[in-house]
Amino acid sequence: MQDVISRQRAYFDTNVTKPISFRIEQLLRLKRALEQREGVLQEAIAADYGKQRYETFITELLPVYSEIDAAIANVAAWSTPSPVASSPFTSPGRCYVMPEPLGVSLVIGPWNYPVQLTIVPAVGALAAGCTVVLKPSEITANTSAAIANLIAEAFDPAYVTVVEGGVRETSALLAHKFDMIFFTGSVAVGRIVYQAAAKNLTPVVLELGGKSPTIVAPDANLPLAARRIAWAKFLNAGQTCIAPDYVNVHRSIYEEFLDALAKEIAASRYGLENHNFVRIVNARNLERVAALIDQRKVFTGGLVDVDQRVIAPTVLRDVNWGDRVMGEEVFGPVLPTLVYDDIDDVVSQIKQRDKPLALYLFTEDAGTKRKILSDLSFGGGAINDAVVQVTNGDLPFGGVGTSGIGSYHGEAGFRSFSHYKSIVDREALTTAEEQQFRYSPYNDDYLKIMRQTLGIRPG
Ligand code: NAD
């Protein structure tokens, strides 16, 4: 691994990654490689967890293509130094901020969207002019191998390379010095990555998880809320970091909402018999998610097929915070629903816990929207929808508190892999004011003049 990293450092030090033309060429190369190997990626994902081709396209490939296209279109603008106004001590002179690539970067991916969540951060890195070591999740082993082949065929490993493996290999990578580490995964491993990065004071982006709440207010359009919540929850069989983890529903509409949800699940033909429904990634996760289903609280679903690794879309009713399902991120197709009477109680419950990665609110009431958006802190979210915030590349994507540090997508991704260098560029000339006010000997009259000039009132 030392050899891989040293070669990348030497390559970066040649400055070859810095011209915008080079970056665009490499982004195009990545796009071509993905287009050519789309079939292989599709098969690998299907082999890993039985995902249907269209779902794979919209959740794994489309986000990568969109990110590459946006980077190609905008990298020149993002890289252009931006001027700022001069201050008394820098005037006359030109002040500006110029982005520069951080250097050799490490991207560690999770298994739940194994292509998107490994390649999209890499697009930000390449746009910024960094070199990249990618470490896909070992749990989706077929996809990891497909990504490794694709990258090896398209790129010089001194520029972009894949290291495959699990805890042992990732730990070995983290023992080395990188200039930037981008991690997506669990909060527990996020802490390990942060500690490893701290040894070298390496900047990080941590894209983590947690329980993302959804609130359905009494005035919500219930059929639409049920439709969008069911889609967001059961997409990828609930193995989505920003899926609605649980739903708080106002008592006055609780039964009606549950019925709408059940109707939606039936109509969408999510379920055990439906070969379109994504598998749980492995037996361990299947067992973990199945154990969160309290059969006494099942409103619909509740069936587990261990051999097929499928859990039927499950809605739990009358759940409360003491239930086991509320003790951890569900990360599977099980949706606990909680009844509320007063929205202030919902706000207070959410505030007592870790800041979520996402929050969704279904209401058309402006006051309710204002209240939730101003009272609660969370990574990002949607009103009258769920999950779709991730599809707009102009919206920075990331968590807050334990749900993450930093953000990416579009320019935010470019920024995360860049250092913004502040520059003052002055003529080699001096002015009378500079002679008088900058250099000693100093004099109390200057203090008065300076305060007056700057509008600082006498104390
Ligand atoms: P994970 O933390 O188990 O694994 C993520 C990566 O870390 C993998 O590449 C794995 O090989 C590596 N890893 C695992 N244990 C390690 C260790 N001890 N030391 C070093 N590296 C280690 O996460 P996961 O199970 O792949 O993904 C699920 C979690 O990720 C959920 O909590 C989910 O919410 C979160 N997630 C967050 C986002 C986001 O964008 N914020 C996206 C997807 C998933």
State how far the Cα of 414 lies from the Cα of 394, in Å rounded to an integer: 12
- The answer to whether 245 and 330 are in contact (CB under 8 A) is yes
Per-residue pLDDT at 411: 98
State how far the Cα of 167 lies from the Cα of 257, in Å rounded to an integer: 43
CB 281 near ligand 1, within 6 Å: no
Atom number in ligand 1 closest to CA 329:
32
Q: Residue 182: name the closest of 378, 190, 403 by CA.
A: 190
Atom number in ligand 1 closest to CA 165:
11
- The answer to whether 203 and 360 are in contact (CB under 8 A) is no
Per-residue pLDDT at 324: 98
Atom number in ligand 1 closest to CA 188:
2
Rounded to two decimals, the pTM is 0.96
Predicted confidence (pLDDT) per residue in 19-46, tens digit: 999 999 999 999 999 999 999 999 999 9
CA of 341 to the centre of ligand 1 (A): 36
Ranges of H-type helices in 355-443: 366-375, 411-416, 432-438
CATH code for 213-398?
3.40.309.10
CA of 264 to the centre of ligand 1 (A): 31
State how far the Cα of 38 lies from the Cα of 54, in Å rounded to an integer: 12
Return the CATH fold of 2-208+407-419: Aldehyde Dehydrogenase; Chain A, domain 1 (3.40.605)
Atom number in ligand 1 closest to CA 109:
9
Query: Hey, whose CA ends up nearest to atom 37 of ligand 1?
Result: 208
User: Both ends of the chain: CA-CA distance in Å?
Assistant: 61
Work out the angle between the directed axes of helices 141-154 and 20-36 (0-180°, nearest 10): 130
CB 239 near ligand 1, within 6 Å: no
Atom number in ligand 1 closest to CA 404:
41
Cβ neighbours of residue 350 under 8 Å, at least 6 residues apart? 213, 356, 359, 376
* Total residue length of the chain: 459
**Any idea which residues carry the catalytic annotation?**
207, 241
Atom number in ligand 1 closest to CA 241:
34
- The answer to whether 131 and 156 are in contact (CB under 8 A) is no
Query: Hey, whose CA ends up nearest to atom 16 of ligand 1?
Result: 167
State how far the Cα of 158 lies from the Cα of 170, in Å rounded to an integer: 19
Question: Can you list the residues of the chain whose pLDDT is less than 70?
Answer: 269-276, 459
CB 77 near ligand 1, within 6 Å: no
State how far the Cα of 62 lies from the Cα of 71, in Å rounded to an integer: 14
CB 245 near ligand 1, within 6 Å: no
Sign of the dihedral defined by the CA atoms of residues 26, 31, 36, 41, in that order: positive
Q: Residue 163: name the closest of 336, 1, 346, 358 by CA.
A: 1
Residue 450: its H or E element: helix 444-454
CB 405 near ligand 1, within 6 Å: no
Could you tell me the two tokens for 143? 């996809």
CA of 108 to the centre of ligand 1 (A): 8
Same fold, 2-208+407-419 and 213-398: no
CB 213 near ligand 1, within 6 Å: no
Q: Which of 48, 49, 106, 112 is the best mutation target for the ligand 1 pocket, counting ligand atoms within 8 Å of the beta carbon and taking the most?
A: 112
In three-state secondary structure terms, 359 is strand
CA of 112 to the centre of ligand 1 (A): 9
CA of 418 to the centre of ligand 1 (A): 24
Query: Hey, whose CA ends up nearest to atom 39 of ligand 1?
Result: 207
CA of 185 to the centre of ligand 1 (A): 3
Task: Give CA torsion, residues 31, 37, 40, 43, to 10 deg.
Answer: 40
The domain spans of the chain are 2-208+407-419, 213-398
CB 189 near ligand 1, within 6 Å: yes
Q: Hey, what amino acid is at 368? A: T
- The answer to whether 246 and 326 are in contact (CB under 8 A) is yes
CB 184 near ligand 1, within 6 Å: yes
CB 399 near ligand 1, within 6 Å: yes
Per-residue pLDDT at 273: 61
**Token pair 């599709």 in the structure block, residue:** 42
Burial grade of 369 (CB within 10 A; 0-12, 13-18, 19 or more): middle
Per-residue pLDDT at 435: 87
In three-state secondary structure terms, 303 is coil
Predicted confidence (pLDDT) per residue in 84-127, tens digit: 999 989 999 999 999 999 999 999 999 999 999 999 999 999 99
Q: What is the DSSP letter of 356?
A: P
Q: Hey, what amino acid is at 344? A: D
CB 195 near ligand 1, within 6 Å: no
CA of 370 to the centre of ligand 1 (A): 33
Could you list the beta-strand ranges (E) of 82-235. Answer: 82-84, 94-101, 104-108, 131-135, 160-162, 180-184, 204-207, 213-216
- The answer to whether 116 and 409 are in contact (CB under 8 A) is no
